[in-house]
Structure 1
Amino acid sequence: MSLTPGKQAPAFSLPATGGQAITLDSLKGRKAVLYFYPKDDTSGCTLEARNFQALRQEFAASDTEVIGVSPDSLKSHDKFRAKYDLHFPLASDEEKSMLHAYGVWVEKSMYGRRYMGVERTTVLIDRDGNIARIWNKVKVPGHVEEVLEAARRL
């Protein structure tokens, strides 16, 4: 599925850290940043999470919820959050239903080996549940600041 700015975001319901369930409907009325990342506690994913954590107050001030999504288990997410003192939810999509719906579960290649994995992607959703902006194939340095600026303008 290809996401299109201005269109309704695909519905989802996922378990998340803190014993909560996160759904598209539960985010209505607020802006949301869904950032899809490959794996807990790897260098790029850790840097991205720590960057979102560093600007968490600024996102909150712009009425924007930040949610990390990966196929890792809740147990893995809990360890990751505790290790890096992250104060935003991480949703677990072990079934990869949301990853497929958002088009981020893709074939990747490293050192000539092909495999399926998460393409680092960020989606900004408006208060009505529509896609406001999409960042594909994210490079971590400077990315979180760009997302914050877009959230502020929304």
Structure 2
Amino acid sequence: MKESKRKAKAGVVGGSIGGISCAHALIFAGWDVVVLEKTRSPPTNESGARLGNQSTDRAKKKSLVLARDENFNYRAADGADHRSLLYKILPLDVVWWGHMFLSFSVSDDKPNVKVKSKVLQRGEIIDVVADLLIAADGCLSSIRQTFVPDHKLRFVGMNSR
């Protein structure tokens, strides 16, 4: 009888577009994935970045074509719409809503990471043991601060509406 190999497990901290995209890629690659997200449910009525082939320079009051091929077939979409669609096609048990990241630790004798989170609805502290930790918890990421504490963030630009 052939022994089945355990799937690798990833813990994604943060249900941003980056976190959800990572979850999809890892699931597609055969990993077990858990996304810890502090909000209690998927976002509704949110706004996000617009994607498309045109941008408007408000100061000069003109539109700019973004792709070199002006016949580029595209649909304008809102980043929030993409995130909503990605949530909907994930397996139901992947995103753990209402789980606030607290800390993580790496064991000296085991090749994995233990992530502590607080279940906001019950106040319970739980551990998730994973082979890979992905920090998608935003610009104030405490995970990133642990590994690259001197790295200064810089604004890369986003048009406000």
Give the TM-score of the pair, scaled to structure 2.
0.32
For the pair shown, the structure with the greater C-alpha radius of gyration is 2
Give the TM-score of the pair, scaled to structure 1.
0.34
User: Does 1 or 2 have the higher relative contact order (CA < 8 Å, sep 6+)?
Assistant: 1
